[in-house]
Amino acid sequence: MQKKILLPTDFSDNAWSAIVYALKLYANETCSFYFLNSTHIDDSTTRTYITNKYIETLKEEAMQELIELKQQAEVSNANTKHTFNIIISDKELKTAINDAVKNNKIDIIVMGTKGATGAKEFFFGSNTVKIISKMKLCPVLVVPDEYDFVLPKKIAFPTDYNRFYSEEELKNLKDLVLLFNSKICVLHINIEKHLNDIQKYNKIMLDKYLKNYEHSFHWMPEYSKKTKEIEMFIKDLEIDILAMVNYKHSFIESITREPVIKKVGYHPTVPFLVIPE
């Protein structure tokens, strides 16, 4: 079955790095890749040079860059299982991505952490924050800047066990695991000394749903910020991908609130799969 993968790009090195990662991650899969560029100009931009002619020139240049990007991917990839498509949109990036996902039945979005103008000191650029916090249609895989592909042998899945995961949510995790038969490392940062009955039940069910996949359960005491603990876990266990479900009051929701991003400055060192609930 063909997998459909959306690759938003602003033609930056960061975006190309994410594209290369996606091509290598899905090297053995039959895939259709969609390069998407938005030529949207913010309404708050009132500069006098933004004429209809300027906008048309912008679109023409973007289309030319998309064509060149497609050709570059075809030459550097040379994988008969892969086909490439281009999408250009004059809508705001978040809307352009939503439209592309719906119209092309996209299975996953793979994107860089920030655009060419993204703030270097923070892991997430504002566009990435908007996409991962609002995307409800499919998972988003965020690739750190200049990240070199390594086989994903271990995938971390942090949970507080307060929530029951649906089969659809876990399917997205399993799909990733099946690419290279990765091991799932379930991480619980324990605020409490013992799990309550709901947490115990959810842990048992998670164990049951993952029974056909190699997995292990890990505990970490809470002694600092969760972001730091997750980063330590990634380093200590040599984790290759971090995967989380984005739901109300989840860890992702807390770190993708703009003011929190600026305070926390979350810097995962590995690709980060965000699964919508």
Per the CB < 8 A criterion, the answer to whether 274 and 139 are in contact is yes
Q: How confident is the model at residue 261 (pLDDT cuts 50, 70, 90)?
A: very low
Check residue 131 and give its pLDDT. 77
pLDDT for 228 beyond 80: no
Q: How confident is the model at residue 59 (pLDDT cuts 50, 70, 90)?
A: confident
Class of CATH domain 154-270: alpha beta
Single pTM value for the model: 0.87
Type and span of the H or E element at 259: helix 258-264
pLDDT for 110 beyond 80: yes
Mean pLDDT value across residues 36-46: 73
What are the domain boundaries of the chain?
3-143, 154-270
Q: How confident is the model at residue 266 (pLDDT cuts 50, 70, 90)?
A: low
DSSP state of 182: P
Check residue 68 and give its pLDDT. 93
Average pLDDT of the chain to the nearest whole number? 83
pLDDT for 260 beyond 50: no
CATH tag for 3-143 (out of 3.40.190.10, 3.40.50.300, 3.20.20.450, 3.40.50.620): 3.40.50.620
Mean pLDDT value across residues 220-234: 75
Q: How confident is the model at residue 82 (pLDDT cuts 50, 70, 90)?
A: very high
Q: How confident is the model at residue 42 (pLDDT cuts 50, 70, 90)?
A: low
Per the CB < 8 A criterion, the answer to whether 60 and 54 are in contact is no
DSSP state of 238: T
Check residue 249 and give its pLDDT. 62
Proportion of the chain above pLDDT 70, given as a percent: 82
User: Which residues lie closer than 8 Å to 101 by C-beta, 6 or more apart?
Assistant: 6, 109, 135, 137, 138
Check residue 167 and give its pLDDT. 87
pLDDT for 218 beyond 70: yes
User: Which residues lie closer than 8 Å to 228 by C-beta, 6 or more apart?
Assistant: none
- Please state, in angstroms and rounded to a whole number, the distance separating the CA atoms of residues 220 and 271: 21
Check residue 8 and give its pLDDT. 93
